[in-house]
Chain A
Amino acid sequence: MAHSEQEILKGLGEIIDEVAGVPAAEVTPEKSFVDDLDIDSLSMVEIAVAAQDKFGVEIPDDQLKDLKTVQDVINFIQK
């Protein structure tokens, strides 16, 4: 089932708030996980698993490392 960009952004915001304590409002498409949101590699694993539960899209480890920004994840889930 396809999700709109807005749905995914909202869902990612909720996940990142829960996992990393970053307020959902700060999770905007251009933000870098590492540089802007201060999210470490272990937290990215948690975010990927939570995103899979929410959107039904598995993010393999070898592709997870290439997802640098929130927009990258949105694009991956929409693909």
Chain B
Amino acid sequence: MSTTEVVVTGLGATTPLGGDVASTWSALLEGQSGIRTIEEDWVKDLPVHFAGAVAVEPSEKLPRHRMRRLDRTQQFALIAAQEAWEDAGAPEVDPLRLGAVVSSGIGGILTILEQYDTFREKGWKRVSPFTVPMLMPNSPAAAVSLEFSARAGAHAPVSACASSAEAIADAIAMIRSGRADIVIAGGTEAALHPLNIASFASMRALSTRNDDPQRASRPFDVNRDGFVMSEGAGIIVLESAEHARARGARVYAVAAGAGYSNDAHDIVQPDPAGTGQARAITAALADADLQPHDIAHVNAHATSTPAGDVGETVAIRSALGDSAADQVAVTSTKSMTGHLLGGAGAVESIATVLALYHGQIPPTINIDELDPGVVVDIVRDKPRDLSAGAVAALNESFGFGGHNVAVAFRRV
């Protein structure tokens, strides 16, 4: 195993809870919901009338002429990357040693749909010449690379809702392999369009709790009825420990390692036995050189779907073993943010890192009655202090296609 240690030196986000990390984090600790009723006419034709739109529109931070040539996924990614970069102290780095790994689960679908409307209504000449560089799924990675002159390589691993956890995992590997000293990593999603809501609703994946949107995302609750679609981005600056030390950077946590697996069970249903998820956790522990008892906290994928959530707790117990699983504090911040799809893993990795850094675990809200199948300790309703001797925490992300990713962070 490589000896290169990778650390987290910068964080950036734009989410339904806030336009930056500080506002998002304080809302998470306060147990606020970022979910709101959609105030658009088209919502009347859909079974779902609510979502988690970003709290701060990108137009408040990006000039208009830049906005028009950037897909909304790119806009979110650039805003979060700018915050993360400044948070890391805008490090001096050779562009040839700076990388970008930024994912989106769906890609530039708003651009595709808008430009298709333009094409049908006005013809090919009115289609924006920037359509292709906006819709391509690597466009957020490319935009970040361009903005920060990241010339070591730009990558966009795509694995549905595991995409941005996979981006962070790949970024750790990129630094360990010696290809880069710093990598700007994370993910973004912008898919709040009637077609996307219809598509997820048609597979019966979304909550339809239209009369009480803020209580709709309820991971682990016995009456959960689906996830809540959200948008936004999370970006983490990862850096070799040596590089960070040499410039005296503030270190939030060690990005200790990651594990991947695939269920190869069903294209969308998680394996109810959780064996694939457990394998990702076990692989992450091995990669990070951690023992099960080191894991004090898990930020779970738990999306509030009937099919998920419970199986994930079974996977945690089976991977950690009974003795360690009895002591782990599990939460799902999706109860407050909703599900950012390809942005989820990055935003939740930020929450995991901050839980270690500040010693506080955000709660899972909206659990009226815990599902009796849940076999780990869930942090409910209000934040909980991290146990005094806590060593490490995991962020788990799973995606349609059977993708499982677990990222391990260690306290500094």
Task: Give residues in A with beta carbon < 8 Å to B.
Answer: 17-21, 42-43, 45-46, 49
Contacts and interface: CB of A to CB of B under 8 A. Distances in A.
A49 B68 CA distance: 15
Nearest to B125: A49
A46 B128 contact: yes
What 7 pairs between A and B have smallest CB-CB spacing? A21-B65, A42-B129, A45-B129, A21-B63, A20-B65, A49-B125, A42-B130
A37 to B, nearest CB: 12
A42 to B, nearest CB: 4
B69 to A, nearest CB: 8
Nearest to A49: B125
Contacts of B125: 49
B120 interface: no
18 contacts: A18-B64, A18-B68, A19-B65, A19-B68, A20-B65, A21-B63, A21-B64, A21-B65, A21-B66, A42-B69, A42-B129, A42-B130, A43-B129, A45-B129, A46-B129, A46-B130, A49-B125, A49-B126
Contacts of B63: 21
A76 B68 CA distance: 27
The secondary-structure label for the interface of chain B is loop
Interface in B60-106: 63-66, 68-69
Interface string B269-302: 0000000000000000000000000000000000
Contacts of A45: 129
Nearest to A48: B125
Of listed B63, B64, B69, B129, residue having the most chain A CB within 10 A: B129
Given A18-B64, A18-B68, 13 more contacts: A17-B65, A19-B65, A20-B65, A21-B63, A21-B64, A21-B65, A21-B66, A42-B130, A43-B129, A46-B128, A46-B129, A46-B130, A49-B126
Give the secondary structure class of A's interface. helix
Interface of B: 63-66, 68-69, 125-126, 128-130
A17 B64 CA distance: 9
Nearest to A58: B125
A46 B126 CA distance: 8
Contacts of B129: 42-43, 45-46
Contacts of A20: 65
A17 B128 CA distance: 17
A7 B156 CA distance: 46
Nearest to A41: B129
B126 to A, nearest CB: 7
A38 B283 CA distance: 50
Contacts of A17: 65
A19 B130 CA distance: 11
A20 B129 CA distance: 13
A21 B128 CA distance: 16
B122 to A, nearest CB: 10
B246 to A, nearest CB: 36
Contacts of B64: 18, 21
A21 B62 CA distance: 11
Give the interface centre of A20, A42, A45 by most chain B CB atoms within 10 Å: A42
B217 to A, nearest CB: 38
Contacts of A46: 128-130
Contacts of B66: 21
Contacts of A42: 69, 129-130
B131 to A, nearest CB: 10
Contacts of B128: 46
B233 to A, nearest CB: 23
A19 B128 CA distance: 11
A58 to B, nearest CB: 9
A75 B69 CA distance: 28
A45 B125 CA distance: 9
A71 to B, nearest CB: 23
A18 B65 contact: yes
A19 B129 CA distance: 11
A18 B69 CA distance: 11
A55 B65 CA distance: 22
Nearest to A22: B65
